[in-house]
């Protein structure tokens, strides 16, 4: 299913009937069960679901960090699931990731400048002056002072570290970025700042984003399209505006009802509606005495 069926442009990313199994000895568990979607250049697809829904597993499968049991994952027409390691390394400058916890993904023994220089040194032949210029430009673009490049991760706040992680992911000018819960560990005010930064960078750089989150309200203003996941299955898939306006699946409606809104009165009404629904469901369930 194309995220933009009105065009004939080949998608940047095609995920078809993706299944992922995790094994523990002789036992296996299917974490993703035949999920399909496409993502085009310059667009954002939100993968949304509760913990255990399979959303992060899909991101890891695309990145080559989780096994693909069946199905297909194609980037610019090339199959990623069976791609040789050397070719995968060549594509690493085009496919990047921003993780939930920037502190654990940054080398605490290296300065920010060293961390940002690594992908440039690996993929591009630049002089020291050219590398330093790119690093300074990228640091400014994510809203940090230039002198940050001489400091270490421990000297920054959580929001600042996530800006550094964004800078590292984007400094090589990738085409596609997996954002795996990139703001869930941040305070609400900082979340908004980082989301606005990502939206601005996506627009200016023409990025395609796969934005993974458990919170529909977080992805609301950045996603063009949504895939709602439950227990490894895609239960709803479509344009973000359409789903927010008229969600079809009960699970999607429950996620929407659980999302916080800035209006206290509207939030209270949502809470009462959820409580009423829970009471009604309980009343319809036969008690042990009646069985």
- Residue pair 202/219 in contact by the 8 Å Cβ criterion: no
Per residue in 21-64, pLDDT (tens digit) is 998 888 899 999 999 999 999 999 999 999 999 999 999 999 99
Annotate the chain with three-state secondary structure. CCCCCCCCCCCCEEEEEEEEEEEECCEEEEEEEEEEEEECCCCEEEEECCCCCCHHHHHHHHHCCCCCCEEEEEECCEECCCCCHHHHHHHHHCEEEECCCHHHHCCCCCCHHHHHHHHHHHHCCCCHHHHHHHHHHHHHHCCCCHHHHHCCHHHCCHHHHHHHHHHHHHCCCCCEEEEECCCCCCCHHHHHHHHHHHHHHHHHHCCEEEEEECCHHHHCCCCCEEEEEECCEEEEEEEHHHHHHCCCCHHHHHHHHHCCCCCHHHHHHHHHHHHHHHHHHHHHCCCHHHC
Per residue in 188-236, pLDDT (tens digit) is 889 999 999 999 999 999 999 999 999 888 888 889 999 999 999 999 9
Per residue in 127-166, pLDDT (tens digit) is 999 999 999 999 999 999 999 999 999 999 999 999 999 9
Tell which residue, 228, 213, 232, 166, has the closest CA to residue 194: 166
Per residue in 275-285, pLDDT (tens digit) is 554 454 444 44
Q: Indicate whether 14 pLDDT > 70.
A: yes
Distance CA 168, CA 105 (A): 11
Confidence (pLDDT) at 9: 64
Rounded to an integer, what is the distance from CA 27 to the centroid of its chain? Answer: 29
Confidence (pLDDT) at 105: 81
User: Which residues make beta-bridge pairs with 13?
Assistant: 39, 75
Q: Provide the token pair at 141.
A: 């673009």
Distance CA 151, CA 143 (A): 15
Report the interhelical angle of 158-170 vs 188-205 (nearest 10°): 10
Confidence (pLDDT) at 270: 53
Asked which of 111-125, 172-186, 274-288 is least confident by mean pLDDT, the reply is 274-288
What is the pTM assigned to this prediction? 0.84
Confidence (pLDDT) at 260: 62
Confidence (pLDDT) at 287: 37
């Amino acid at each position: 299913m194309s995220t933009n069926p009105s065009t004939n442009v080949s998608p940047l990313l095609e995920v078809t009937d993706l299944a992922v199994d995790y094994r523990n000895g002789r036992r296996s568990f299917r974490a993703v069960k035949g999920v399909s979607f496409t993502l085009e250049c310059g667009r954002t697809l939100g993968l949304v679901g509760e913990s255990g829904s399979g959303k992060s597993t899909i991101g890891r499968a695309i990145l080559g960090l989780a096994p693909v049991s069946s199905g297909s994952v194609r980037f610019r027409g090339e199959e990623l699931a069976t791609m040789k390691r050397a070719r995968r390394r060549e594509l690493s400058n085009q496919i990047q990731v921003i993780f939930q916890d920037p502190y654990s993904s940054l080398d605490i023994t290296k300065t920010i400048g060293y961390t940002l220089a690594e992908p440039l040194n690996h993929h591009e032949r630049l002089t020291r002056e050219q590398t330093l210029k790119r690093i300074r430009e990228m640091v400014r673009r994510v809203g940090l002072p230039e002198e940050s490049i001489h400091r270490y991760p421990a000297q920054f706040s959580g929001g600042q570290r996530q800006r550094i992680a964004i800078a590292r992911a984007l400094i090589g000018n990738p085409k596609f970025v997996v954002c795996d819960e990139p703001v869930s560990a941040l305070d609400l005010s900082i979340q908004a700042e980082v989301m606005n930064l990502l939206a601005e960078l996506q627009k200016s750089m023409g990025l395609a984003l796969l934005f993974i989150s458990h919170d529909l309200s977080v992805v609301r203003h950045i996603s063009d399209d949504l895939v709602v996941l439950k227990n490894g299955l895609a239960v709803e898939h479509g344009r973000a505006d359409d789903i927010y306006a008229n969600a079809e699946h009960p699970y999607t409606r429950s996620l929407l009802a659980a999302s916080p809104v800035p209006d206290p009165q509207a939030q209270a009404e949502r809470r009462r509606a959820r409580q009423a629904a829970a009471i009604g469901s309980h009343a319809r369930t036969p008690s042990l005495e009646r069985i």
